[in-house]
Homo-oligomer: A and B are copies of this chain.
Amino acid sequence: MAEKKNFTPVSDLGEFGLIDHLTKDIQPTQKTNIKGVGDDAAVFACVSDRVGLLASDILVEGIHFDLSYSPLKHLGYKSVVVNVSDIYAMNGVPERITVAIAASSRFPVEAFDEIYEGIKLACSQYSVDLVGGDISASHKGLIISIAAYGTAAKDKVVMRSTAKEGDLICLSGDLGAAYLGLQILEREKRIFMENPGVQPDLEKYPYLIERQLKPEARKDIPAFFEKLDFLPTAMIDVSDGLASDLLHICHQSGLGAEIRENDIFIRQEAQMMALEFQLDPVTCALSGGEDYELLFTIDPGDQEKLAYMTDISVIGEMKNKKDGVKLRTMKDNLHDVTAQGWKHY
């Protein structure tokens, strides 16, 4: 909402009018779609050689995002990404989402337009249909709750609980950038609050800022598995930080693990920024969260297939439960990996 304009209060349209306004141009694209927006529930065909997948997440203003630096369009985009990421983490394909939004009266129709612009862009990027939802007032703040439905081939769903001892631990992309992007945004906000004349300097760190405000989900990874005709033995998306998400795989598979600090890919700008904040880059990677990369385990016999995937790091190995979950440092010490993920409370 950069330019000045007159804002339309939601009460001018009412709940149904607003939903019509926001969804009138939506054209479902899924072949299985029977009825999208506009009935009590969305309707779609079931395909018997596939399984259904269902996930939901809630994003709360002041907890998951700060509107003083999160553009509403990016926020809408990100709210879809965090949900489709859960479907990819099952080796599935997201097909449709419902969106429930509660917003106080400080959000005019134009704010919903921006949120929905981001939601629709993400729907297009990830080939999912927006098929329904709900809009409500709230007394305070903005809450976006999305449910995602997807499918996977019946024999190709990958859970967290099926890793085997000796499996290699693999990680897509790089970690820590989203967390450091958040640190920059928080710092620039503090500076701006103290000196409103100083303009935030965000252009120096485009990658870190984008990883925080407009992350992407790894839809290419399940596609690669399909193309290379192999399956990971277990998988999870890295939403709470590598440590927390690795612990989920270990606990649910009844195993231990050892990962090597040296093999966790942290991009140079994230390394530099961590130093600037006097943070340990590896701690940012382990506990920062919101990277939306995929963490998966593979049979060692499949390692050669990884060569065809461009940004996968092998970071360690699944161990016996009695070995615990350890990080081997660059100095060859072993530390316990502990969950630090997001603490809302």
Contacts and interface: CB of A to CB of B under 8 A. Distances in A.
A164 interface: no
Interface string A127-158: 00001111011111101010111111010010
Interface string A37-66: 011111111111011111111111111100
Chain B CB within 10 A, most for which of A87, A98, A101, A145: A145
Contacts of A150: 41
Contacts of A159: 35, 39, 43
A137 B51 contact: no
Interface stretch (A10-18, A168-176, A308-316): A10-18
Contacts of A47: 46, 48
Contacts of A42: 53-55
Contacts of A64: 136
A298 to B, nearest CB: 18
Given A54-B96, A105-B345, A145-B56, A40 B90 contact: yes
Contacts of A334: none
A343 interface: yes
A37 to B, nearest CB: 11
B143 A102 contact: yes
Contacts of A102: 58, 60, 63, 143
Contacts of A343: 11, 14-15
Contacts of A114: none
A39 B50 CA distance: 18
9 contacts: A14-B343, A41-B87, A41-B92, A41-B148, A43-B90, A47-B48, A54-B96, A57-B100, A139-B141
Interface of A: 9-11, 14-16, 34-35, 38-48, 50-64, 85-87, 89-90, 92, 96, 98-102, 105, 131-134, 136-141, 143, 145, 147-152, 154, 157, 159-161, 235-237, 244, 252, 339, 341-345
Given A45-B52, A102-B143, 8 more contacts: A9-B345, A15-B344, A39-B252, A40-B237, A43-B53, A56-B132, A139-B141, A147-B147
